[in-house]
């Protein structure tokens, strides 16, 4: 059985880890390298670092921070934010990132997925899809959840995979930071239809939510931020509890 992955997410703004609700009302949480090292020691499977203002502000990605992370953290990590070309991806991978995540740039230039996948391999590219449900329609969003994109969740995710995405990171904007549970029914559909792993994001609040997203949502990995950053759900305790529920995780 393929083991399910637990992935702390560190949203980075100005070199500091931050967290908000529905992508706004941000609060500083700590140093990204120190926090990453802590999660690695706690048994997290991977980390995701997202420069959440890079696309909105039109800046380049945080290469110096990526180098620091690579030197201080000994588990795989993905970085995203402001990646608009294969050269941007190359610079981050050269700096030590294991994978890159693209979102807004891929929506505005879908061929970017093809270029990165053909140059580095699908295993190095994650396509992050932020979407909000409106009357049963999942509208994709861009630029850190600030603007609507003219795409629908399922068709865009399928296209991203056909272009070479190795994983889909789906965030339900309406669930983000609410701690009310993941969008499991939507995740189940997405996981069933796509040929690549799906990472669930948005809504983690209890250990049961993680069990639900693996059993009901059929997700391959679960990503969360605030419940880990606050210490409310320690990664080791979560993984032991999940194992007790019959879910295969790395202990």
Task: Verify whether residue 87 is a known catalytic residue.
Answer: no
Which residue out of 88, 130, 176, 220 is catalytically annotated? 130
Which residue out of 11, 45, 176, 220 is catalytically annotated? 11
Strands 125-134 and 137-142, by their bridges, are antiparallel
What is the DSSP code (8-state) at residue 3? P
Nearest in space to 11 (alpha carbons), one of 214, 228, 162: 228
Q: In angstroms, rounded to a whole number, what is the distance separating the alpha carbons of residues 24 and 119? A: 35
Neighbours of 93 (CB within 10 A): 18
Task: Verify whether residue 11 is a known catalytic residue.
Answer: yes
What is the DSSP code (8-state) at residue 59? P
Helices 184-193 and 207-215: crossing angle, nearest 10°? Answer: 40
Q: Any idea how long the chain is?
A: 251
Dmax (CA) for the chain in angstroms is: 46
Give me 105's structure tokens. Answer: 């740039």
Catalytic site positions: 11, 130
């Amino acid at each position: 059985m393929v083991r399910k992955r637990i992935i702390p997410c560190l949203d980075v703004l100005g070199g500091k880890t931050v967290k908000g609700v529905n992508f706004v009302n941000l609060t500083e949480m700590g140093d990204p390298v120190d926090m990453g090292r802590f999660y690695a020691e706690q048994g997290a499977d991977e980390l995701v670092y997202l420069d959440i203002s890079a696309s909105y502000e039109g800046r380049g990605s945080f290469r110096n921070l990526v180098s620091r992370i690579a030197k201080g953290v000994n588990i795989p990590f993905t970085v995203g934010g402001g990646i608009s070309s294969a050269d941007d991806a190359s610079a981050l991978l050269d700096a030590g990132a294991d994978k890159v995540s693209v979102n807004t740039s891929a929506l505005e230039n879908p061929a970017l997925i093809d270029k990165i996948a053909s140059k580095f391999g699908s295993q190095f590219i994650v396509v992050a899809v932020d979407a909000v449900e409106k009357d049963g329609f999942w509208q994709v969003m861009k630029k850190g959840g600030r603007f609507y994109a003219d795409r629908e969740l399922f068709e865009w995710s399928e296209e991203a995979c056909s272009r070479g995405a190795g994983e889909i990171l789906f965030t339900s904007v309406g669930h983000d930071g609410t701690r009310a549970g993941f969008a499991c029914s939507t995740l189940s559909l997405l996981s069933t239809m796509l040929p690549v792993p799906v990472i669930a994001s948005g809504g983690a609040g209890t250990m049961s939510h993680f069990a639900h997203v693996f059993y009901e949502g059929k997700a391959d990995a679960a990503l969360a931020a605030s419940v880990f950053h606050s210490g409310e759900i320690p990664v080791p305790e979560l993984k032991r509890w999940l194992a007790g529920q019959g879910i295969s995780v790395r202990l």
